[in-house]
Amino acid sequence: MCGRTIIGEVDWPQYFEWMSILSASSTPIRHSWNVAPTTINPIFLPAEGGLIGGMARWGLVPAWWKKPLKELKFATFNARSEEAAEKPTFRHAMQHGHCLVPAKGYYEWTGAKGNKTPYMISVKTNAPGFCMAGLYTRVSLPDYQGLTYTILTEPSEAELKDLHPRMPVMLDESAYAGWTTGTPLAALPRVSPARIRFHQVGKAVGKVSNDSPELILPMGD
């Protein structure tokens, strides 16, 4: 599961340098250390000759959905990678809507209900972040027009199993081009477990309205 991510303090020029994107949305990126579903965030999607940057709503709206967005009552911020091709909600995007979702990290909670402990998971890199495998749609609804996306998940590996049984599909840099041009997910390498880092953070992250760099600090700092 991946229900909160971290963008940090980035802008389009940093993403241009990192990903060599061809063009980007004119909408500035909202700096955030506590990104929640339904917010508008950057994604990278395929275009002729490379990638472009777009701003998209987190929570995929199926291409066949024509009613107002406010009537979409089921959660679509994550999609199980092993089931997405068969699910009506994600089937079309799994065939035609591969994208990359950049992040500096994400949060996960573990422990007993009512007393869960939050952790930040990140990837060791010199880049402005890493990319998760995503799916996107472009929709025109009575109350929303634009891009929407979901983050693909898979069973957790290595030490992340102790935090949560599922994790986002964190692609190795060598897999970015393959994913956006239609290579099956099973054929693409993931970030090496040796590069994955995690540490406990304060419970303030549980409140969406809390959004500052202090949220990602290890407990005790």
Please tell me the predicted confidence (pLDDT) of residue 113: 83
The CATH number given to whatever domain includes residue 212 is: 3.90.1680.10
CA-wise closest residue to 205 among 217, 221, 192: 217
Q: What domain range includes position 97?
A: 5-216
Using CA atoms, how far residue 180 sits from 20, 26, 102, 184, 191, in Å, is 14, 22, 13, 10, 17
Is there a domain that residue 64 lies in? yes
Give the model's pLDDT for residue 159. Answer: 85
Q: Is the pTM of this model over 0.85?
A: yes
Residue 72 lies in a domain: yes
Percentage of the chain lying above the pLDDT 90 cut? 93
User: Residue 121 has what pLDDT?
Assistant: 97
Q: Residue 44: inside a domain, yes or no? A: yes
pLDDT 10s digits, 51-79: 999 999 999 999 999 999 999 999 999 99
What pLDDT, on a 0 to 100 scale, did the predictor assign at position 221?
A: 59
Distance CA 88, CA 176 (A): 25
Q: What is the pLDDT of residue 142?
A: 96
Measured between alpha carbons, how far is 128 from 118 in angstroms, rounded to an integer?
A: 23
Residue 221 domain-assigned (yes or no): no
- Write out residues in the chain with pLDDT < 50, as ranges: none
Per the structure, the count of domains in the chain is 1
